[in-house]
Chain A
Amino acid sequence: MTAWQRIKANLRVVFMAFEIELRQSFTDAFVLFGIIVQPTIVAFMALWMLKDQVANYAIFVVVGSAMTGLWTTLLFQGGNSITGERWTGTLEPLSCAPAPLRAVVSGKLLANITQSLLSLICCYTFISLIMGLPLTIANPGLFAGSIVLTVVAFIAFGLIIGSLFILNPDVQRFQNGLEFVVYIFSGFLFPIALLPMWTTPFSYILTPYWAARALHAASSGTGSDGEIYFCWAMLIVFSILYAIVSKFLFKSILRKAREDATLNMQ
């Protein structure tokens, strides 16, 4: 198999995993509640509270809450789907198939992110129309570009997190802790300038931070185009870096899981 054929075959695996994850989600009533009912309630409450605020403040909160939703979906749905594979006994055949497990996990993450993003966009648009509260995006072109890079960056970040779930099901215990750490250090709900100075380097190495900054700047119009492009560059650099790290991480973690016999729930 040539390198180009392998890339094509791996992309096919990513899209197949994407399709399978979505099909499975749409047959699960709990997941449907999480992506339709719950976001509608949250969007309604958020926009009700923000109806008297200035427009760019409202969009800041909406984008921030969308980012938290995205990260929570990635962490919980993505992580739990790997644990679910372990419970159903499918992690073993996935792990020793010729296709890299990273391709499968990427497809699953893409499905989780797409699902979360579409649900949030639809819910906020629907509720804002009902309430007659327009959510104006200052720079739609840069906002759309930022969303695409955010999806890529979250997949790359999710690959690092996902590999930990493959190592051991006990990682689930730390899910809540991980959820809030990223909320805070990525500036989803408030600027990181409010945090102590020494925490800033942690924020800079997190792709969700650059994603949040780009999306906030593009949506509220509070940042220059140059600042948004800089965030894009950082998103691309860190996404590549994460992808490279995840390749080695998956290799060593899969070996460790085969040594420790943790691919199956005994």
Chain B
Amino acid sequence: MSAIEVINLQREFQTTIGVFNRKKKIVPAVKGISFEIAGGELFGLLGPNGAGKTTSVKMLTTLLIPTGGTAKILGLDIVNDAEAVRPRIGFIFGGERGLYWRLNATDNLRYFASLYYLDPAVSKKRIPYLLEMVGLTDRADEKVEGYSRGMRQRLHIARALLHDPEVLFLDEPTMGLDPVGARELRQTVRNLQDEKKTILLTTHYMFEADALCQRVAVINKGEIVAMDTPSKLKDSVNDLSVVEIEVFGIPPETVEKIKTLSMVENVSVEDRDQLQLLLVHTSKGAEAIPLLISELNGLKLGKVTTREPTLEDAYVRLVGGE
């Protein structure tokens, strides 16, 4: 039996537009996704902002009722058996919300321990253990409002693990963390995987999914566009090379013009302080460089390199450069 089984799951939101002549508008957020996650697997759900990752996790954690399809956690239906699902899952949502800032870490955990019906004798041992595990023992008696973002995120993890759930949902857990904080948190996730927890991790950091997940599904505009192991997804872009050109002050119209070149599949621009890094996906490899440089005529250029595609490049191909 799969730990998580999702069949054609859908969710629409209703919104209103206009002030005087208000009209209802249906916005589809998740358009029928299906996947299965085996017990003890760490599965990644990748996608850009607004792709439907958080909505999917909220449905699976019983916070939202789907408008279509079904899903089962450990064989239990997320709508009809919601009360039986809840003690067996843990979840954290990215960001700093979801904690009591005017309380300290210990009191936050004591409160949630009671909500999960933990025996006081058990929670007395479990809370210090979890605080130690997430590295908050020394700050446990300080109010959460004085914590850094990374510390709050680690407290979220401790909260989610209080009742030792079999299945964990981690929605963008490293969002907004500094590199050191993010690395520590990834190590915590690895440790959880070693404990054979089933984990659904959503992220838009490709290297994170590559480093942690056994399988990933790429979700875009509410639909799963690919699902495989990270290495197989990378194989799907073996026909491509990536040309990286450092350029100073590239105008948007030049980027648009490069996109129209026949040998170019995708173009993206990353800001790097004073310069931009132009990333061009092309099947021609280094042969494309002269033509690309001619298109950038008149602009100050830095380093020009070619490299093998990564999972991020596979992702960019799948989500169409978004």
Contacts and interface: CB of A to CB of B under 8 A. Distances in A.
List 3 A-B pairs, minimum CB-CB distance, nearest first: A89-B97, A97-B115, A16-B114
Contacts of B110: 16
Contacts of B115: 13, 16, 93-94, 97-99, 104
A261 B178 CA distance: 31
Interface in B92-150: 93, 95, 97-103, 107, 110-112, 114-117, 120, 143
Nearest to B97: A89
B61 interface: yes
B203 to A, nearest CB: 19
Contact of A89 (B61, B95, B120): B95
B197 to A, nearest CB: 18
B101 A88 contact: yes
Given A1-B117, A24-B102, 5 more contacts: A16-B111, A88-B97, A88-B98, A98-B115, A99-B116
Contacts of B14: 260
Interface stretch (B62-70, B183-191, B287-295): B62-70
> Which among A23, A94, A96, A99 has the highest number of chain B CB atoms within 10 Å?
A96
A17 to B, nearest CB: 8
Contacts of A17: 111
A89 B107 contact: no
A51 interface: no
Contacts of A20: 100, 103, 107, 111
B42 to A, nearest CB: 22
Interface in B35-80: 58, 61-65
A24 B86 contact: no
Interface residues of B, number: 33
A99 B61 CA distance: 15
B112 A98 contact: no
A255 B79 CA distance: 10
B-side interface mostly: mixed
A28 interface: yes
Interface in A53-105: 88-90, 92-99, 104
Contacts of A97: 86, 112, 115-116
Interface in A142-177: none
A9 interface: yes
Interface string A34-55: 0000000000000000000000
A98 B87 contact: yes
A244 B116 CA distance: 23
Nearest to A12: B114
Contact of A98 (B99, B117, B120): B117
Interface residues of A, number: 30
A248 to B, nearest CB: 15
22 contacts: A12-B120, A16-B114, A16-B115, A20-B100, A20-B107, A20-B111, A24-B102, A24-B103, A27-B102, A88-B99, A88-B100, A88-B101, A90-B100, A93-B159, A96-B61, A96-B63, A96-B86, A99-B116, A258-B64, A260-B14, A261-B58, A263-B63
B239 interface: no
Contacts of A28: 102
> Which among B64, B91, B99, B120 has the highest number of chain A CB atoms within 10 Å?
B64
B13 interface: yes
A179 to B, nearest CB: 26
B83 interface: yes
Interface of B: 13-14, 58, 61-65, 82-83, 86-87, 91, 93, 95, 97-103, 107, 110-112, 114-117, 120, 143, 159
A88 B156 CA distance: 13
A255 B114 CA distance: 23
A92 B63 contact: yes
A99 B143 CA distance: 25
B64 A23 contact: no
Contacts of A263: 63
A12 B115 CA distance: 9
A111 B231 CA distance: 55
A115 to B, nearest CB: 16
A96 B97 CA distance: 16
A264 B94 CA distance: 14
A98 B83 CA distance: 7
Nearest to A91: B98
B65 A259 contact: yes
Contacts of A88: 97-101
Contacts of B117: 1, 9, 98-99
A258 B58 CA distance: 10
A222 B64 CA distance: 54
A9 B119 CA distance: 8
Nearest to B113: A16
Contacts of B120: 12
Contacts of B98: 88-90, 92-93
> Which among B13, B63, B91 has the highest number of chain A CB atoms within 10 Å?
B63
A104 B14 CA distance: 30
Contacts of A98: 83, 86-87, 115-117
A21 B242 CA distance: 56
Given A96-B63, A258-B62, A90 B99 contact: yes
A263 B54 CA distance: 14
A263 B98 CA distance: 12
